[in-house]
Amino acid sequence: MSTETTGWTTPADATVPLVDRLHGWVTTVDHKRLGILYILYALFFLVVGGIEATLLRIQLIRPHNAFLSPEVFNQLFTMHGTTMIFFVAMPLVFGFANYLVPLMIGARDMAFPRLNAFSFWMTAFGGFVLYFSVVGGYGLYGMATAPDVGWFAYAPLTAKTFSPGHSTDFWTLSLLVSGVGSIGTAVNLITTIICLRCPGMTLGKMPLLAWLNLAMAVLVVLAVSPLTAAQLMLVVDRYLGGHFFDTQAGGSAVLWMHFFWVFGHPEVYVLVIPAFAFASEIIPVFSRKAIFGYPVMVAATLAICFISMSVWAHHMFTVGMTSLSNTFFVLSTMAIAVPTGIKIFNWLATMWGGKISFRTPMLFSTAFLFQFLTAGLTGVMLSSAPFNWQLSGSYFVVAHFHYVIVGGILFMAFAAFYYWFPKVSGRMYDERLGKLHFWLFTIGFHLTFDCMHVPGLLGMPRRIYTYEPGRGWDVWNLLVTVGVLFQGVAVLIFVANLILSYLRGPLAGSDPWDAWTLEWSTSSPPPEYNFAVLPVVRSRRPLWDLKHPEDPDWKYE
């Protein structure tokens, strides 16, 4: 086992029986293998969630369509949202963190390897529980009992009165279980970053990816727990005679909203902060310049973390809070736009004066910058409460958050895939297929999500299985659906590229991008123990120092 690696392409593997190799993967506590498991899990559910979205969009391609019944539609949008957030985006984020953080801080593994494995399997089991709902309960005879209460499961729709049966319980249980996994991983990440950095790597010399994942993990610890607490209360309401949210017995629907969004808002920062991490590593390398303003990038991240715990009720502007409360949340939400916007300027300044090479990771990163700018601006529009009174609950919001999650987070995830694929697999991906994936996906993304803003502005609410003609929504919905086709094809090309390249791609070597952080000093893929000798670092870019002994970073930091 000591010579085991994470790659699948070393000759030694050919002689080990398949059963033993699979057993190695199932029982692994190696952060690199667990990272890959998380990412493959996320990719699988990305396809599942994408199919769910495609079905939804086919139903909405024209008014009064009869492709899906309202019951099935309502289950599909609930499952689509829940799947994408908890079983695609979170595992993706945790997977990359798991793989990269120990390598980039010069450690041999995470602080608690067994907790790491336990956390992964809990998350995985949560996804299984959610999808068991499709066949459990009344099963397919009753048009499945998948949850149909929306991914934020507002009370009192989730009360026993309005959701008899077990569909809501599947939602609750699956997230309780995966929540345990999330907290476990977060505890692991924080401890790893604080306790296992290699000699010389003070917090101020850590790669930004490590800082940003630290911030993300702190948010998980603080934000997932409120969801867990609220769900426990929901279970008490539904089965133990509680009335926390049971409005018919004096409970409060608004209390659920507060608890949920206290989780829900930091959650979206949990998802986007790692995208910032990728951008902060990839953009400098492809611009051939150090990141502009490292200390401010750290400060901005901490500010975002801190402020993000105070903005949650901007999801509740239409609920009827007092004008004073609404005003407070407008202020806090607009405030958070400042450190977030600053980051865009820092990345832009990193590119400024550089020598930008537009390989696939940089193509996705550049698109990310344009798209995250747009998403941030529609967010500013939504943060103005009166404007929000028109825009909330409409397709404008749906367009906004997909712009962030797909146009921001998924684009950077693709960039990260291509950037670190050579390190993980030892082989280089096919650049032409990569560019094809990029252009097709970008065209599809913009067709779908640019057009999606318009029906919102014309009064189309979200979560409706059909709509009236004559409201000016028809052609926009058609265009939105057409864009899905491009994105679907692009994702298939992406998956094909991954598979073909890992099977037959040219060997990449340890440092194909001429990069500067510690993971590029190991072989590709790295050995199980990562580093034979723990590195000693003197600056934020240890490999730059090695490659430029006449002009090392530590002279300027």
By CB under 8 A, the residues from 4 to 23 that bind other proteins are none
Between 349 and 489, CB nearer to other proteins: 349
Give the number of C-alpha atoms closer than 13 A to the C-alpha of residue 273, restricted to the C-beta side: 33
Binding range to other proteins, per CB under 8 A, among 134-142, 170-178, 389-397, 416-424: 389-397
Q: Could you tell me where the DSSP H helices lie in 384-430?
A: 385-391, 395-402, 411-425
Between 395 and 488, CB nearer to other proteins: 395
Nearest alpha-carbon partner for 274 in 366, 409, 150, 149:
409
Q: At its nearest, how many Å lie between other proteins and the CB of residue 387? A: 5
Specify the residue for token string 């402020």.
Answer: 307
Q: Which amino acid is at 3?
A: T
Q: Which of 54, 65, 310, 384 binds other proteins (CB under 8 A)?
A: 384
In the region spanning residues 350 to 379, those forming contacts with other proteins, defined by CB under 8 A, are 351-358, 366, 369-370, 373-374, 377-378
Nearest alpha-carbon partner for 219 in 186, 260, 258:
186
Binding range to other proteins, per CB under 8 A, among 88-96, 215-223, 411-419, 443-451: 215-223
Q: Which of 471, 506, 529, 546 binds other proteins (CB under 8 A)?
A: 471
Between 26 and 229, CB nearer to other proteins: 229
Binding range to other proteins, per CB under 8 A, among 28-36, 49-57, 166-174, 222-230: 222-230
Q: Is 431 in the site for other proteins (CB under 8 A)?
A: no
HEC string for 525-543: CCECCCCCCCCCCCCCCHH
In the region spanning residues 87 to 126, those forming contacts with other proteins, defined by CB under 8 A, are 111-112, 115
Q: Please name the residues in contact with 343: beta carbons below 8 A apart, sequence gap of 6 or more.
A: 276, 297, 300
As a whole number of angstroms, the distance between CA 187 and CA 159 comes to: 33
As a whole number of angstroms, the distance between CA 109 and CA 289 comes to: 29
Residues binding other proteins: number (CB under 8 A): 134
Q: At its nearest, how many Å lie between other proteins and the CB of residue 475? A: 11
Binding range to other proteins, per CB under 8 A, among 11-19, 24-32, 170-178, 192-200: 192-200
As a whole number of angstroms, the distance between CA 218 and CA 302 comes to: 10
As a whole number of angstroms, the distance between CA 505 and CA 408 comes to: 28
Give the number of C-alpha atoms closer than 13 A to the C-alpha of residue 225, restricted to the C-beta side: 10
In the region spanning residues 265 to 324, those forming contacts with other proteins, defined by CB under 8 A, are 287-290, 292-296, 318-320, 322-323
Long-range CB contacts for residues 459-462, cutoff 8 Å, separation at least 24 = 459/394, 460/394, 460/395, 461/393, 461/394, 461/395, 462/393, 462/394, 462/395, 462/397, 462/398
Cis link prior to 552 (omega < 30° from 0)? no
Q: Which of 20, 470, 532, 549 binds other proteins (CB under 8 A)?
A: 470
Tokens of 502: 């890992």
On whether the CB atoms of residues 391 and 384 are closer than 8 A, the answer is no
Q: Is 388 in the site for other proteins (CB under 8 A)?
A: yes
Q: At its nearest, how many Å lie between other proteins and the CB of residue 525? A: 25
Q: At its nearest, how many Å lie between other proteins and the CB of residue 413? A: 21
Q: Is 54 in the site for other proteins (CB under 8 A)?
A: no
Nearest alpha-carbon partner for 277 in 305, 307, 297:
297
Nearest alpha-carbon partner for 192 in 34, 426, 425:
34
On whether the CB atoms of residues 248 and 294 are closer than 8 A, the answer is no
Q: At its nearest, how many Å lie between other proteins and the CB of residue 287? A: 7
Q: At its nearest, how many Å lie between other proteins and the CB of residue 255? A: 6
In the region spanning residues 525 to 544, those forming contacts with other proteins, defined by CB under 8 A, are 534, 536
In the region spanning residues 138 to 157, those forming contacts with other proteins, defined by CB under 8 A, are 150, 154, 156-157
Q: At its nearest, how many Å lie between other proteins and the CB of residue 10? A: 30
Q: Which of 29, 58, 334, 485 binds other proteins (CB under 8 A)?
A: 334
Q: Which of 76, 391, 515, 518 binds other proteins (CB under 8 A)?
A: 391
Other CB atoms within 10 Å distance of the CB of residue 318: 14
Binding range to other proteins, per CB under 8 A, among 6-14, 137-145, 184-192, 435-443: 184-192
Nearest alpha-carbon partner for 196 in 492, 530, 516, 468:
530
Q: At its nearest, how many Å lie between other proteins and the CB of residue 189? A: 9
In the region spanning residues 224 to 253, those forming contacts with other proteins, defined by CB under 8 A, are 224-226, 228-230, 232-233, 236, 240-244, 247-253
Between 2 and 64, CB nearer to other proteins: 64
Q: Is 408 in the site for other proteins (CB under 8 A)?
A: no
Q: Which of 16, 26, 338, 546 binds other proteins (CB under 8 A)?
A: 338
Q: Is 200 in the site for other proteins (CB under 8 A)?
A: yes
Q: Is 523 in the site for other proteins (CB under 8 A)?
A: no
Give the number of C-alpha atoms closer than 13 A to the C-alpha of residue 177, restricted to the C-beta side: 19
Q: Is 345 in the site for other proteins (CB under 8 A)?
A: yes
